[in-house]
Amino acid sequence: MSCESASRDLDIEQAVRSKICAGSIGARVDVRVFQGKVYLLGTLPSLKDKLSAERAVRNLAGIKCVINQVRIIPNADLTMAWQFPLASTGLDENGAWETGRELTASAA
């Protein structure tokens, strides 16, 4: 990945975080960006919240697509959401999940 691409991804990540943090769900959603693809991770109490997070960022400049991997845990104490691990915590410099799984549309 080039420095220009990494810088663009960082700008997108900051814009997405700003947009999500403006709402009430921001603290529970983590953001990863790789080559213009935005990954939303975390846990939220409803499908409405999950879709709201995606809609809030979908049309920001530079975003190629949004991959919403937020888990829905209804009526859960979301302060304990760390007990529900995500499939991955991030991407490496080649766009593969840290677990070594290659990033593809079917894997996302």
pLDDT single digits (tens) 45-57:
899 999 999 999 9
The answer to whether the CB of 58 falls within 8 A of the CB of 32 is no
Which domain range does residue 40 map to?
3-83
Given a cut of 50, whether residue 2 has pLDDT beyond it is yes
User: Could you tell me if residue 25 is inside a domain?
Assistant: yes
Coil, helix or strand for 28? helix
Given a cut of 60, whether residue 6 has pLDDT beyond it is yes
Q: What is the CATH number of the domain that holds 8?
A: 3.30.1340.30
DSSP string over 45-88: S-HHHHHHHHHHHTTSTT--EEEE-PEE-TT--GGGGGGS--S-
User: Could you tell me if residue 95 is inside a domain?
Assistant: no
Can you give the pLDDT at residue 71?
92
Lowest mean pLDDT among 20-34, 56-70, 79-93: 79-93
Given a cut of 80, whether residue 13 has pLDDT beyond it is yes
Can you give the pLDDT at residue 8?
92
* Domains identified in the chain, total number: 1
User: Could you tell me if residue 76 is inside a domain?
Assistant: yes
Helices then strands (H, E): number in the chain? 2, 4
Which residues, other chains included, contact 105 with Cβ-Cβ below 8 Å and sequence gap of 6+?
A: none
